[in-house]
Amino acid sequence: MSRLFYQTRLERPQLDRADGIYMWDVTGKRYIDGSSGAMVSNIGHSNPRVLAAMKTQMEKSTFGYRLHFQTEASEALAERAAGLAPEGLNRVFFVSGGSEATESAMKLARQYALTRGQAQRYKVISRMPSYHGATLGALSVTGYAPMTAPFDPMMRAMPKIPAPRAYLDGLDPDDPATGAHYAQMLEDKILEEGPQTVLAFIVEPIGGASTGALVSPAGYMQRIRQICDHYGVLLIHDEVMTGGGRTGRFFAAEHWDVAPDLICLSKGFGGGYVPLGAVIARDDMVEAVLDAGGFIHGHTYAGNPLACAAGLAVIDEIEENGLMANTCRMGAHLKSRLSDLMQKYPMIGDVRGEGLLLAFELMADRRSKTPLPVEFNAFDRLVEIAYQNGLIIYSRRTRGGLSGDHFLVCPPMIVNEPQLDELIGLLDQSLSQFM
């Protein structure tokens, strides 16, 4: 028995090595990393540039505590990240993961409100379903009862509005009226809670594990911004999964040309090479908090030079190799191949996503959008069959169809067409064994 444990007792083969989009276990079996781990290894495994940058940095220094030293790598990465962010968002706070990013964004928002004499503002509205992290603060805005319920007494659950799942509600996601319809739910919730008590709204511009690559309907992101502005509510974009080019733009919100007040970043930012994350914030917010005595928050490993050197090399790799353009091209190809599978397997009720953040959803009945019965255990079975076939796809246990039986297919952004066809072949084989 292993001394190690995670969520379950599930034991997996030991990983031996990984290269590009492939991984091998110690028996020599090969897997296609069809989900980039948990949508992390965006530039693929064992990238020589990143490894070289890490080695160079390691030979100089691996850790410099943020209160003792500034480092060239952290300064340079902050500069690059700020340069990629929307105008006005040019201050970077480093963390080591997505949950830390969510926590940090919420706390910075709160401290900023205090500098403005708005002590009553503390509620952070979010969506149901949504995922913003596993720590208690991040869980308070996560909309997924199976993960939050056991901890309810230990935290203050925050108000939720429905995620805009137009495909389930029979609405056209390309119709601006649909976006307006779901955005109105935010305004209604702000009014219900009392606008003077609402601090922020946190949203995944394109959903990740919670909604299975749910793309915001037309006009939604823009209308959300207007509503937040109107009520003095800060807008936090959680781009932990979408950031770093996965949707074909460095930030998913660029698809709608809207800017939030705070951005959370992780996963693809470190590309799976090192734990790395960041909050990118509006300059004036940060200045106000620093002027008022400082940000009462921080994590030990924040901004360590090794992580920042890796992060810089990841961005170089994305930009110099045109990986965002490749993501758009390969994403379109993969989406059309997934749509072909939808024609073949009536149980696939929806195919969605943007760039290489794509998902398909299984349903008992495509027309009525009836979810599969829980006993069907689609999550465990399909993921397992694919795994046995040497294909890794990502899902989450639905426990009652709350967020749908969706499966994320998100290979690294370096993937090419023959590799995608190989992936689809394995998925086709797995679906035929599953049905």
List interacting residues with ligand PLP (CB under 6 A). Answer: 38, 97-99, 102, 131-134, 204, 208-209, 238, 240-241, 266
For residues 402 and 129, the answer to whether their CB atoms sit within 8 Å is: yes
The 3-state DSSP class for residue 268 equals: helix
From the number of C-beta atoms within 10 Å of its C-beta (0-12, 13-18, 19+), residue 233 rates as buried
CA distances from 377 to 101, 248, 316, 427, 432 (A): 32, 32, 42, 18, 16
Q: List strand residue ranges (DSSP E) for 239-337, in order.
A: 262-265, 277-282
Q: Kindly state the smallest distance separating residue 311's Cβ from ligand PLP, in Å.
A: 14
Nearer to ligand PLP, 159 or 275 (CB): 275
Structure tokens at 329: 């091209």
Q: Kindly state the smallest distance separating residue 345's Cβ from ligand PLP, in Å.
A: 27
Q: Kindly state the smallest distance separating residue 361's Cβ from ligand PLP, in Å.
A: 17
Nearer to ligand PLP, 213 or 330 (CB): 213
Q: Kindly state the smallest distance separating residue 106's Cβ from ligand PLP, in Å.
A: 12
Q: Kindly state the smallest distance separating residue 175's Cβ from ligand PLP, in Å.
A: 26
Nearer to ligand PLP, 344 or 399 (CB): 399
For residues 236 and 203, the answer to whether their CB atoms sit within 8 Å is: yes
Q: Kindly state the smallest distance separating residue 27's Cβ from ligand PLP, in Å.
A: 29
Nearer to ligand PLP, 209 or 414 (CB): 209
Q: Kindly state the smallest distance separating residue 134's Cβ from ligand PLP, in Å.
A: 6
Taking the C-alpha atoms of residue 322 and residue 340, their distance in angstroms, rounded to an integer, is 27
Structure tokens at 211: 């909604």
What single letter denotes the amino acid at residue 402?
L
Nearer to ligand PLP, 131 or 167 (CB): 131
Q: Kindly state the smallest distance separating residue 275's Cβ from ligand PLP, in Å.
A: 8
Nearer to ligand PLP, 71 or 126 (CB): 126
For residues 82 and 89, the answer to whether their CB atoms sit within 8 Å is: yes
Structure tokens at 95: 């963390």
Nearer to ligand PLP, 306 or 363 (CB): 306
Taking the C-alpha atoms of residue 49 and residue 315, their distance in angstroms, rounded to an integer, is 11
The 3-state DSSP class for residue 62 equals: coil
SS3 content of the chain, % helix, strand, coil (to 5): 45, 20, 40
CA distances from 243 to 74, 93, 240, 247 (A): 19, 15, 6, 8
User: In the bound complex, which residue of the shown chain has the CB atom lying closest to ligand PLP?
Assistant: 98
Taking the C-alpha atoms of residue 251 and residue 268, their distance in angstroms, rounded to an integer, is 11
Structure tokens at 104: 């940090």
Nearer to ligand PLP, 142 or 419 (CB): 142
